[in-house]
Chains A and B, each alone.
Chain A
């Protein structure tokens, strides 16, 4: 199975909002609400930021939000801060009972 499709990079200035897309198929993103987003800083383990398309785990800032339309999920970060600069990965459960990650998006805060 091919990885979910994410833009390689996005950027924004402090205080702005950015959106990262994640495109799959009806066998993964479009077929299930088991879509999640992870943040990874260099040399660190990934951190769960969004689960079940739009839910935030306890402790995650409400500046992070998620949505889905058809086969495409999106992560929006509002009020960008310097510490948001990281790699972001989407993930989806699939019809093969596996998990599929996106290729990752590098967020640069200008």
Chain B
């Protein structure tokens, strides 16, 4: 069974840092692009970042560019999101999601999603 399991969320002060992890299983992790998508409380979905299967190409939303870094360790089947200079508006549930197409360099659609991990930025 294809599964994604996020971890690393929590409460952090404004200006602080947090690293999210997403453990993947049930598919050839290195063959698929991956994304992070977030959802603020009571709000809609917002795409955050994507990374190619090899990790050589990365993409970011303007709202997080320069503050967040996406990476992956294909030997550990794990996706990461390093979040620095956190702001109150980064408070959200963060979902890890698998790209639909085998071998694609980015995520055009996401067909498998984790349950999410909650990040709260507050003093």
Determine the distance from Cα of A52 to Cα of B100 in the docked complex, in whole angstroms. 11
Which among A9-17, A67-75, A78-86, A91-99 touches the partner chain? A91-99
Does residue B62 face the partner (Cβ distance < 8 Å to A)? yes
| Contact-residue bracket for chain B | 20 to 34
Nearest A residue (CB) for B59: A97
Does residue B26 face the partner (Cβ distance < 8 Å to A)? no
User: Judging by beta carbons under 8 Å apart, are A48 and B61 in contact?
Assistant: no
User: Judging by beta carbons under 8 Å apart, are A101 and B106 in contact?
Assistant: no
| Least CB distance, B27 to chain A, in whole angstroms | 15
Count residues of A near B (Cβ-Cβ below 8 Å): 25
Given contacts A1-B62, A45-B95, A46-B113, contact A100 B108 (CB under 8 A): no
Determine the distance from Cα of A88 to Cα of B14 in the docked complex, in whole angstroms. 32
Most interface-central of A34, A51, A99 (chain B CB within 10 A):
A99
Determine the distance from Cα of A101 to Cα of B48 in the docked complex, in whole angstroms. 11
Scoring A residues 36 to 67 as 1 if CB is less than 8 Å from chain B, else 0, what string do you get? 10101000011110011000010000000000
Does residue B47 face the partner (Cβ distance < 8 Å to A)? yes
Interface of B is mostly: strand
Instruction: Tell me which residues across on chain A come within 8 A of B45, comparing CB atoms.
Output: 38, 40, 46, 89, 91, 101, 104
Determine the distance from Cα of A91 to Cα of B111 in the docked complex, in whole angstroms. 13
User: Judging by beta carbons under 8 Å apart, are B113 and A47 in contact?
Assistant: yes
| Least CB distance, B119 to chain A, in whole angstroms | 16
Nearest B residue (CB) for A89: B45
Nearest B residue (CB) for A50: B109
Q: Identify which of A45, A48, A99 contacts B114 (C-beta below 8 A).
A: A45
Minimum-distance CB pairs A-B, first 6: A99-B47, A45-B113, A104-B44, A36-B109, A34-B108, A51-B109
Given contacts A47-B113, A89-B44, A98-B61, 8 further A-B contacts (CB under 8 A): A45-B113, A45-B116, A46-B110, A97-B59, A99-B35, A100-B47, A101-B46, A104-B44
* A-B CB contact pairs (8 Å), 25 listed: A3-B44, A36-B108, A36-B109, A38-B45, A45-B95, A45-B116, A46-B37, A46-B45, A46-B110, A51-B111, A52-B109, A57-B111, A87-B44, A89-B45, A91-B45, A91-B47, A91-B109, A97-B59, A98-B50, A98-B59, A98-B61, A99-B107, A101-B46, A101-B47, A104-B45
